[in-house]
Structure 1
Amino acid sequence: MEPTSQNPKTPTSQNGTDNNAARAHIQRSLDEAQAGSAELAAQGKEILRDSAAQVREALSRTTDQAAQYVQAQPLKSLLMAAAAGAAIAMLAGTVGKRHGHS
């Protein structure tokens, strides 16, 4: 009797069938994973598109409200803008001194 590298309990034809079934199972799993990832990507695109539209709408509303406020209260708007500019300049000066950029 010659020694063989195959398992003596499992015939060669059975190994081939088992391997084919395993390959088919792996391929189905990969196909399902790919389809699932494609669906998730499509959902992500749709969510991103909807979110971007909502942000554009909110920005448009805010811009319109700001323009209306400036038209209704021009002096107050000017004073607020000057105060904000002064605060930013002071903050930038403080940060610049801390980092040695004076």
Structure 2
Amino acid sequence: MPSSKAEDTVNQLADDAATATERLADKAERGVETARTLANDALDKADAKVRTLRDDIRPAIDAVSSRVQDMAARGKAAAAQTREQTREKVNEYADRTSAYVQDQPLKSMAIAAAAGALVALLLGRRR
């Protein structure tokens, strides 16, 4: 059967529509691919900047960490030294007190009694 002019026109329009659709699909696909490429490039640049920043601040972080560790070690050493000095002083005062009590037993008892009476008096007033 011979095709009619209307059929030819409809077929032509259908072909034109299909061609236009394919072109639009190709353009959309290229647009998506371009967007994907740009996004990947931006992420690569951001990753490189983060790595560079991390590398740039690493020495500062290491320096601060080193200083904190040094300060902690010095503080610990100072505390140990103070503890030892305190222990020596307490032992010295205990030795002096023992020697005084041995040299002056009656006087030591009188001082202890007076101190006890004073403490009892002060505690009695609080109540």
Instruction: Pick the TM interval, shorter chain.
Output: 0.7 to 0.9
Aligned identity (percent) is: 32
> Runs of 5+ in structure 2 lacking a partner?
1-30, 36-40
Higher RCO (CA 8 Å, separation ≥ 6 residues): 1
Q: Which residue of 1 aligns with 2:64?
A: 33
Cα deviation digits, residues 25-64 of structure 1 (max 9, x gap): 2332222211111111110110011111111111111111
Q: Are 1:75 and 2:115 matched, yes or no?
A: no
Q: Cα RMSD between the aligned structures?
A: 2.0
TM-score, normalised on structure 1? 0.73
Distance across 2 between alignment mates of 1:79 and 1:34: 59
Distance across 2 between alignment mates of 1:28 and 1:91: 62
Q: Are 1:53 and 2:84 matched, yes or no?
A: yes
Question: Any runs of at least 4 consecutive aligned residues in structure 1 with deviations exceeding 6 A, and if so which?
Answer: none
By percentage of residues, which structure has more helix? 2
TM-score, normalised on structure 2? 0.60
Q: Which residue of 2 aligns with 1:93?
A: 124
Distance across 1 between alignment mates of 2:112 and 2:119: 11
Q: Are 1:44 and 2:75 matched, yes or no?
A: yes
> Runs of 5+ in structure 1 lacking a partner?
5-10, 98-102
Q: Which residue of 2 aligns with 1:100?
A: none
